[in-house]
Chains A and B, each alone.
Chain A
Amino acid sequence: MSTKLFINPSALEAGVEAAFEARSEPSEAQAAAFQRFAKLRLPHRRIEGWKWSDFNAALRNFTPINEDPGAIAISPTDFSALNPIEFRIVDGRIQLPEEEMPDGMRYGVIDPVATITELETHGIATLNVAITRKALGIEILEDAAPERPILIRHINSAAGFSFAQTMMRVSSNAKAKLIETYEGEGAGFYSHLFHMVVRDGATFNRTVLHETGTENIVHSICAAKIDEAARFEQTSLSTGSRLSRHETILHFWSPGSTAKINSAALLGGACHNDFTTHVLHKERGCETRQLHKGVATDRGRNVFQGKFEVERAAQKTDAKMTANALLLSDMAEANHKPELEIYADDVECAHGSTSGALDKDALFYLRQRGLSEKQARTLLIEAFVGAVIDEVEDDGVRNVLRAKTLDWLEAV
């Protein structure tokens, strides 16, 4: 089978082409992006960086059913105790908060991004740019520090494909807390492209919780530009799904900024999760700390790819990356790829990666003290993941992530 643009297209490719052609007037930028996508196509395992998360294979036999699911019941968020300003993107459709706009910020539905230079060779991001019609725009005004967190709930209940974009700016010396949840029991493909800027002196804190049904295929990418003396903090927790990949791309454009990018994955059944990050240090004196903890049981698959790139001008960069995997069954897998690419000579950069089973000595010790095998395992796994979760400063967020970890441990 072939279409106008694709030879032997996947069902998704055929579907997006039909959807694209049905549009009345795509912008020139979108038409160009679609042409680029037709050349790039969906990423597959022969492309470096995608060998462990083959979206082409996963979507090859995926038949999108793009029926309007109508109004779906949406339960209150797990983060309701934090009184968040709640945005929803339900099967790709943006819903703004049903309340007056709080002080210190503005938001709305805006035109999507025309292009993101560093993502022009990224198949899924390019497709997202080509297809997405409207974006969620959020701006935190200068010096503002809204007390309430912003919550974006990505809810995917359908079996089709949907694309969404968010553009966010944290203005100079502002502070913002963002929580993103990926939810829903759907069996479709969802792509979210998040483009953000953290201005001089600003602090941005992002929490990502991926806890969808097991059938969803999800790709998210956050591309952030960090200005001078700014701070970017991110904690992600994923229980995976049929295939999920959350990418983070940070560019330090100016000196003296810091980033913390921590992640944890809890993968049972046949769930697959991929945390891929790329931190580009372009200017001097920036600091990055990254910690990943992945737990896999049954046929769970934990993918971690972290890359620190340090350009020649980025002297005095201080960057450390650690990835640890815990494998609880013979069929569970961990695929780690830590990478350093350094062109400056006066830097401190390090990475470490381990994988292994639960410590038998520790298990016996705990059991000798009276803990059942399940209790002992739970305590040790909780402690393993706790290294990421305990780093979360906000009590409310930390409590939710801890409760999610315990729920998962209870169920496996």
Chain B
Amino acid sequence: MLNIDNLHVTLGGNNILRGLSLAVKPGEVHAIMGPNGSGKSTLSYTIAGRDGYEATDGAVTLDGESILDLDPNERAAKGLFLSFQHPMEIPGVQTMNFIRTALNAQRKARGEDEISAADFIKLIREKAKLVGLDDAKLKRPFNVGFSGGEKKRMEMLQMAMFEPHFAIMDETDSGLDIDALKMVGEVVNALRGPSRGFLIITHYQRLLEYIKPDHVHVLAGGRIVKSGGPGLAAELEKSGYEQFVEAA
């Protein structure tokens, strides 16, 4: 499914990722943990195709196809979803209108029919309930005046709506209370399936109590320095990242 091989990425002339390799098979959930500045967000932005994140070496493929030359929306149409660490407020853009436009743009790019207005409203109401967002919030400009937790719920709402093929969750747990963490766990666990993959980027073990990862990796100094099973997360919680920072 997602294969990253010897990826080197520069941002503004600085080498951030230095030979990162990672393979996520269909149906797997991988967690990436690591200290601040280790390149976690750079990895998520590079996979999603943000301008300025330049892959100078290596490859990223999704289902065997290289995605590094695709536009962000082309990657989205292939089912790649990024839950943002800091979701945007977009004044003037009505939430429902935007999500429907986005969903239809993805469907159209895949050669599928657009969703009807009635079906869309039914679906978004159902998913909003799942993530704990009021209907009233859906009528507001996108994320404007929302709390940090509400913004993360809006990310999860979109993930539930788009049902992505591969999802990257960039510190979705930061700023969330226990109830919201549980909700994130429920959304991810409901979507888990044999053809879907997840990459969960986090600082802490907390979220991984709700989402059991198949593999845990430590990212430090721009590459994966250690990989293991779910037990590695608990181990890191005790020992910290210092040993890896020094090693990197």
Contact = CB atoms under 8 A, between A and B. Distances in A.
A365 B73 contact: no
Contacts of A371: 73, 101-102, 105
A359 B143 CA distance: 15
Contacts, number: 76
Given A360-B51, A379-B101, A369 B92 contact: no
A383 B91 CA distance: 7
A288 B73 CA distance: 43
Interface in A349-378: 359-362, 364-373, 375-376
B82 interface: yes
A360 B98 CA distance: 17
B50 interface: yes
Contact of A370 (B77, B87, B90, B92): B77
A387 interface: yes
B44 to A, nearest CB: 10
Interface string B147-179: 000000000001000100000000000000000
A386 interface: yes
Contact of A365 (B87, B91, B101, B162): B87
A295 to B, nearest CB: 13
Contact of B73 (A362, A367, A382, A386): A367
Given A364-B50, A379-B98, A384-B92, A370 B105 contact: yes
B102 A369 contact: yes
A342 interface: no
A372 B82 CA distance: 16
A294 to B, nearest CB: 15
Nearest to B161: A369
Question: Considering residues A368, A375, A382, A387, which has the most beta carbons from chain B within 10 angstroms of its beta carbon?
Answer: A368
Interface in A252-299: none
A367 B72 contact: yes
A364 B51 contact: yes
B121 interface: no
B109 interface: yes
A366 B84 contact: no
A380 interface: yes
Contacts of B158: 369
A361 B99 CA distance: 17
B92 A382 contact: yes
B76 interface: yes
B223 to A, nearest CB: 25
B144 to A, nearest CB: 10
Interface in B88-118: 88, 90-93, 98-99, 101-103, 105-106, 109
Given A361-B88, A375-B105, A369 B93 contact: no
Interface in B179-198: none
Contacts of A364: 48, 50-51, 72
B142 to A, nearest CB: 9
B65 interface: no
A20 B92 CA distance: 51
Interface residues of A, number: 24
A368 B101 contact: no
Given A360-B51, A364-B50, A379-B98, A369 B88 contact: no
Contacts of B101: 371, 375, 379
B214 interface: no
A387 B92 contact: yes
B73 A372 contact: yes
A372 B49 CA distance: 13
B84 A370 contact: no
B124 to A, nearest CB: 14
Nearest to B86: A361
Contacts of B99: 369
Nearest to B75: A368
B71 interface: yes
A368 B105 contact: no
A365 B92 contact: no
A365 B90 CA distance: 10
A298 to B, nearest CB: 22
Nearest to A361: B88
Nearest to A385: B92
A384 B141 CA distance: 12
Given A364-B50, A369-B76, A383 B105 contact: no
A387 B90 CA distance: 12
Question: Considering residues A362, A365, A372, which has the most beta carbons from chain B within 10 angstroms of its beta carbon?
Answer: A365
Contacts of B91: 383, 387
A27 B180 CA distance: 79
B84 A365 contact: yes
A246 to B, nearest CB: 24
Contact of A380 (B71, B73, B76, B90): B90
Given A362-B88, A365-B87, A384-B92, A370 B71 contact: no
Interface in B49-86: 49-51, 71-73, 75-77, 81-82, 84
B143 to A, nearest CB: 10
A117 to B, nearest CB: 41
B88 A365 contact: yes
Interface in A372-409: 372-373, 375-376, 379-380, 382-384, 386-387, 390
A379 B73 contact: no
A368 B48 contact: yes
A360 B109 CA distance: 23
5 contacts: A366-B98, A367-B76, A371-B105, A372-B73, A372-B105
Closest 5 CB pairs of A and B: A383-B92, A369-B102, A370-B106, A367-B72, A370-B76
Interface of A: 359-362, 364-373, 375-376, 379-380, 382-384, 386-387, 390
Given A360-B51, A369-B98, A369-B102, 19 more contacts: A365-B87, A365-B88, A366-B98, A366-B102, A367-B71, A368-B72, A368-B73, A368-B82, A369-B99, A369-B105, A370-B73, A370-B105, A370-B109, A372-B73, A375-B101, A383-B141, A386-B92, A387-B91, A390-B92
